[in-house]
Chain A
């Protein structure tokens, strides 16, 4: 089984619908992240969480919300999806206790979202 699991892997939805992308990890890492990838724009940080009680906005948080339900689970929600939120979404984790390992992100396989 993958260390970082994202569901769904692919989703097509319509404008205005609420969408939740889920992420779970078995690595025991304390930090979790949600990134969005668009062609030519690299990976942009949406939200990040350093522990269950800590949620922080990233570069592009507008239109998104997150929930850290447990150390192992971090979900991303689009309350009312719009077409320009069509993108590939990645969840990632890191371990703050690992020294330089705090700079090592482990990514999930990605969730491809299409908003029509």
Chain B
């Protein structure tokens, strides 16, 4: 089976940097993805790490360490519009289905 753990809530101020961690336990592993969901909206894809290391996309970066079964999403220069829920997701290499963590609600304060 698979499980992903991430903090339920994170609060930060505008302009700051925040890191959202995700640890996973899977029977197989084929990469870690990150999704953003604004209240009531559809989740949207942010980033994917198939290999160890850092992936950067603008203000957002994602990191993966397979040996530690750990990854994180780093958000820089926080803006009010970054207030949302962030989900990590892992795909097993058996069924190929994507399983999500419970989500981290990020609140950005002025």
Partner of A103, one of B40, B42, B48, B87: B48
- Bound form: Cα–Cα A35–B87 in Å: 14
When the two chains form their complex, are residues A43 and B97 in contact, meaning their CB atoms are under 8 A apart?
Answer: no
Which of B44, B45, B98, B102 is the most central at the interface, judged by chain A CB atoms within 10 Å of its CB?
B98
- Asked if B71 is at the interface of the complex by the 8 Å CB criterion, the answer is no
When the two chains form their complex, are residues A100 and B31 in contact, meaning their CB atoms are under 8 A apart?
Answer: yes
Q: Which residues of B contact A107 (CB under 8 A)?
A: 42-44
Partner of A45, one of B41, B44, B50, B98: B98
- Asked if A96 is at the interface of the complex by the 8 Å CB criterion, the answer is yes
- Bound form: Cα–Cα A90–B100 in Å: 13
When the two chains form their complex, are residues A103 and B91 in contact, meaning their CB atoms are under 8 A apart?
Answer: yes
- Bound form: Cα–Cα A58–B45 in Å: 21
When the two chains form their complex, are residues A100 and B50 in contact, meaning their CB atoms are under 8 A apart?
Answer: yes
- Bound form: Cα–Cα A15–B98 in Å: 30
- Asked if B15 is at the interface of the complex by the 8 Å CB criterion, the answer is no
- Asked if A116 is at the interface of the complex by the 8 Å CB criterion, the answer is no
- Asked if A70 is at the interface of the complex by the 8 Å CB criterion, the answer is no
- Bound form: Cα–Cα A108–B41 in Å: 9
- Asked if B25 is at the interface of the complex by the 8 Å CB criterion, the answer is no
When the two chains form their complex, are residues B45 and A104 in contact, meaning their CB atoms are under 8 A apart?
Answer: yes
Rounded to whole Å, the gap between the CB of B31 and the closest CB of chain A is 6
When the two chains form their complex, are residues A42 and B101 in contact, meaning their CB atoms are under 8 A apart?
Answer: yes
Across the interface, name the chain B residue whose C-beta is closest to A35.
B100
Contact with A along B21-50 (1 / 0, CB 8 A): 000000000110101000011111100101
When the two chains form their complex, are residues A42 and B45 in contact, meaning their CB atoms are under 8 A apart?
Answer: no
- Residues of chain A touching chain B, judged by Cβ–Cβ distance below 8 Å, are 31, 33, 35, 40-45, 48, 50, 56, 58-59, 90, 94, 96, 100, 102-110
3 closest Cβ contacts across the A-B interface? A42-B102, A107-B42, A43-B100
21 contacts between A and B (CB under 8 A): A31-B96, A33-B98, A42-B87, A42-B100, A43-B87, A43-B100, A45-B98, A45-B100, A48-B97, A50-B96, A90-B43, A94-B98, A96-B96, A100-B48, A100-B50, A102-B91, A102-B96, A103-B48, A103-B91, A106-B45, A107-B43
